[in-house]
């Protein structure tokens, strides 16, 4: 039986049994109709808030978007993605300067330095990933949605976001549909990612193109070489409306310096 470690890297290794479940993460885009119990939902939110947060500033928030008109409006701005529409739970994770900013005004301080925006994005990502780990331990599947950043001004209106709050990504949660299983995707080999004492710029991506080509073929995806596919996604055309993101951040007071 192929292990998740082998699926990730194409080689076998002894993996600590306590750590092994974390290697099985995959983006789940199809869900059953089973609802998520309120007590589990509350537990997941508590798990998210239990994540590390820089200086305990807690510069993030999240909006749960319920299915129906609210979800339809958000999904349209995200590019009309099936998983956004169907997920039992959908959260919009936010970099939030508003809550602390109101307190900072009393002392004449402000949060419009780029460092605070970086901190807010990291806080949101750490919280969401802690929620995902907890969700997967409870049998749920998850999928992150970068499309939440497609139209910041419209998303701000739809979610009633005050100035100083920016939608970083969405998160879909639900019980995976066994009829449409998601695959564990290969990753770049650890020796090309983890270095000792100094960065090794000669490492490159190792055999990743070859392993991803096999994965694409297995999944009936006509994506070509990973390196070429990824290079195309770095072009300005691929950014679409996100090309103006810095202007949008200035407009809502997230970054000024």
Asked if the model's pLDDT at residue 236 lies above 90, the reply is: no
Per-residue pLDDT at 23: 96
Range of the domain at 166: 25-182+240-251
| Distance (Å, whole) CA 157 – CA 167 | 11
196 within a domain of the structure (yes/no): no
As a whole number, mean pLDDT of residues 130-135 equals 98
213 within a domain of the structure (yes/no): no
Per-residue pLDDT at 183: 94
Mean pLDDT of all residues in the chain? 94
As a whole number, mean pLDDT of residues 157-174 equals 97
257 within a domain of the structure (yes/no): no
Confidence of residue 239 (pLDDT cuts 50, 70, 90): confident
The CATH number that applies at residue 174 is: 3.40.109.10
List the Cα angle 209/214/217 in 5-degree steps. Answer: 120
197 within a domain of the structure (yes/no): no
Per-residue pLDDT at 105: 79
Task: Determine the 3-state secondary structure of 216 from DSSP.
Answer: helix
Percent of the chain beyond pLDDT 90?
A: 83
Alpha carbon 206 to chain centroid, angstroms:
26
Confidence of residue 68 (pLDDT cuts 50, 70, 90): very high
Per-residue pLDDT at 190: 97
Per-residue pLDDT at 140: 98
128 within a domain of the structure (yes/no): yes
Within 10 Å of residue 246's Cβ, how many Cβ atoms?
11
207 within a domain of the structure (yes/no): no
What number of CA atoms fall less than 13 Å from residue 27's CA on the CB side? 11
In terms of pLDDT, which residue wins out, 27 or 239?
27
Asked if the model's pLDDT at residue 221 lies above 90, the reply is: no
Confidence of residue 40 (pLDDT cuts 50, 70, 90): very high
Per-residue pLDDT at 59: 97
Domain count, the chain: 1
Confidence of residue 15 (pLDDT cuts 50, 70, 90): very high
Confidence of residue 108 (pLDDT cuts 50, 70, 90): confident
Kindly report which listed range (140-149, 230-239, 242-251) carries the lowest average pLDDT score: 230-239
Per-residue pLDDT at 11: 95
Confidence of residue 148 (pLDDT cuts 50, 70, 90): very high
1 within a domain of the structure (yes/no): no
Asked if the model's pLDDT at residue 193 lies above 90, the reply is: yes
| Distance (Å, whole) CA 121 – CA 169 | 10
Per-residue pLDDT at 37: 98
Closest by alpha carbon to 146, among 229, 219, 79, 72? 79
As a whole number, mean pLDDT of residues 213-217 equals 91
172 within a domain of the structure (yes/no): yes
Per-residue pLDDT at 257: 67
Asked whether the beta carbons of 79 and 150 are under 8 A apart, the reply is: yes
């Amino acid at each position: 039986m192929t292990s998740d470690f082998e699926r990730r890297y194409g080689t076998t290794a002894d993996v600590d049994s306590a750590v092994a479940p974390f290697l099985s993460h995959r983006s789940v885009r199809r869900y059953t109709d089973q609802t998520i119990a309120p007590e589990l939902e509350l537990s997941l939110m508590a798990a998210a808030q239990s994540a590390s947060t820089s200086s305990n500033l807690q510069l993030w928030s999240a909006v749960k978007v319920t299915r129906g008109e609210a979800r339809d409006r958000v999904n349209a701005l995200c590019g009309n993605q099936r998983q956004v529409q169907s997920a039992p739970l959908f959260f919009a994770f936010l970099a939030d300067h508003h809550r602390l900013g109101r307190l900072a005004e009393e002392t004449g301080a402000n949060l419009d330095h780029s460092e605070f925006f970086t901190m807010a994005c990291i806080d949101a990502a750490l919280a969401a990933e802690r929620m995902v780990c907890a969700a997967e331990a409870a049998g749920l599947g998850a999928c992150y949605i970068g499309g939440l950043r497609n139209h910041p001004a419209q998303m701000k209106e739809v979610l009633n976001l005050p100035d100083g709050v920016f939608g970083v990504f969405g998160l879909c949660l639900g019980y995976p549909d066994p009829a449409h299983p998601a695959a564990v995707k290969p990753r770049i080999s650890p020796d090309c990612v983890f270095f000792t004492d100094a960065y090794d710029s000669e490492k490159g991506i190792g055999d990743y193109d070859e392993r991803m080509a096999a994965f694409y073929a297995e999944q009936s995806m006509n994506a070509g070489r990973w390196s070429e596919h990824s290079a195309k996604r770095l072009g300005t055309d691929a950014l679409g409306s996100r090309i103006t993101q810095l202007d949008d951040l200035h407009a809502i007071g997230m970054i000024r310096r």
